[in-house]
Structure 1
Amino acid sequence: MIRLSKLAIFLVIAMGAFFSSCSTEDPHIVCGREWNPALQLVADTTSEFELINPMIVQFRYGTGFDFPTIKIAFYEGTAANKGKEIWKYETKVNEKVSVYTLQGHSKRGGLMTAAEMTRHHAPGQIVIEATTGDRLLAVKEITLIKNKQ
């Protein structure tokens, strides 16, 4: 009886460890128009932006960064057919942080527009990559479209 209860406890602990390891989110890039300052998170609202839409880019790693630097780069094209690099930003990070956000203020006030953030002022496909050293961490494809107004 004691042996059976020890086995049951062991199984519960093993299952708990297994499921808790599955709850860690995979590294990914989130793009959106809405910023929640209280949570310091952007809502992944869409992958399609009008050129005048506000745009925030956020890289989420799931656990503390286990690398010293992160580079976020913007390219023309798609992930399968990546074109020339438009621009990149590289910065130091540490293990106390698991999220990195790119946002800025527009020249007209408010958040940067999609055209300003991507530095691409015509409709088209854009690829955003997060890397560290030679390791690719995450990729996000977005589409810039003409303003509907």
Structure 2
Amino acid sequence: MKNSKKVMMLATLALGAMFAGCSKPEPVIACGREWNPAVNIVADTGSVFRMADELIVQVRYGTGFDFNELKIAFYEGTLQNKGPQIWEHKARVTSRLDSYTLEGRSRRGGYATAREMTKLKAPGTVVIEVSSENGLIATKQLSIVNQ
């Protein structure tokens, strides 16, 4: 009886591992003030940034991009009420990449601030939309506030 329980337990674990290996992680937009290029990870620090905070945007796609071009667009407004497009960036990606990092350079040195990255003149709300030729991948809403 004990051996049959062990066999059943191992079969269940193997089946669970097989299904876990087949699932693809959900695409994520990570926005943060800190980026470690050595391990290619942006520390996702939330959705509220001061105008003077550095802002780095990273799209994490899981096991590798299964398309050739990635489009990152910034819009005024909220997720429910998206306004006009502020600007967009297109990038070539390959299946060897599992993330893409958008980091701008500030005029004063270092990474671009939230004001520079979003191109906002005053505090407000911005929607970041990531898409490919296959359609929309992920969206994220950011609040940009005064110092």
Deviations 1:93-138 (A, max 9, x none): 1100010000021001111000101111210000000001251100
Which amino acid counterpart does residue 43 of structure 1 have in structure 2? A
Partner Cα distance (2:25, 2:102) in 1: 20
Give the C-alpha shift of residue 33 in structure 1. 0.3
Partner Cα distance (2:74, 2:104) in 1: 15
Structure 1 residues 146 and 15: CA distance shift in structure 2, 3 A: same
Equivalent residue number for residue 14 of structure 1:
15
Equivalent residue number for residue 26 of structure 2:
26
Normalising by structure 2, what TM-score?
0.90
Give the C-alpha shift of residue 38 in structure 1. 2.0
Give the C-alpha shift of residue 46 in structure 1. 1.9
Which amino acid counterpart does residue 18 of structure 1 have in structure 2? F
Equivalent residue number for residue 60 of structure 1:
60
Preserved CA contact (<8 Å) 1:51 1:121? no
Alignment of 1:1-149 (within 5 A): 9-21=10-22, 24-133=24-133, 135-147=135-147
Partner Cα distance (2:142, 2:53) in 1: 13
Deviations 1:54-100 (A, max 9, x none): 00000000111001111000000011110000000112111000100
Which runs of 5 or more structure 2 residues have no equivalent in the other structure?
A: none
Structure 1 residues 134 and 85: CA distance shift in structure 2, 3 A: farther
Give the RMSD, CA atoms, in angstroms. 2.0
Which amino acid counterpart does residue 29 of structure 2 have in structure 1? I
Structure 1 residues 119 and 4: CA distance shift in structure 2, 3 A: same
Give the C-alpha shift of residue 3 in structure 1. 8.4
Which amino acid counterpart does residue 80 of structure 1 have in structure 2? Q
Which amino acid counterpart does residue 17 of structure 1 have in structure 2? M
Normalising by structure 1, what TM-score?
0.89
Give the C-alpha shift of residue 4 in structure 1. 7.9
Identity of aligned residues (%): 44
Give the C-alpha shift of residue 21 in structure 1. 4.0
Would you say how many aligned residue pairs link Structure 1 and Structure 2? 146
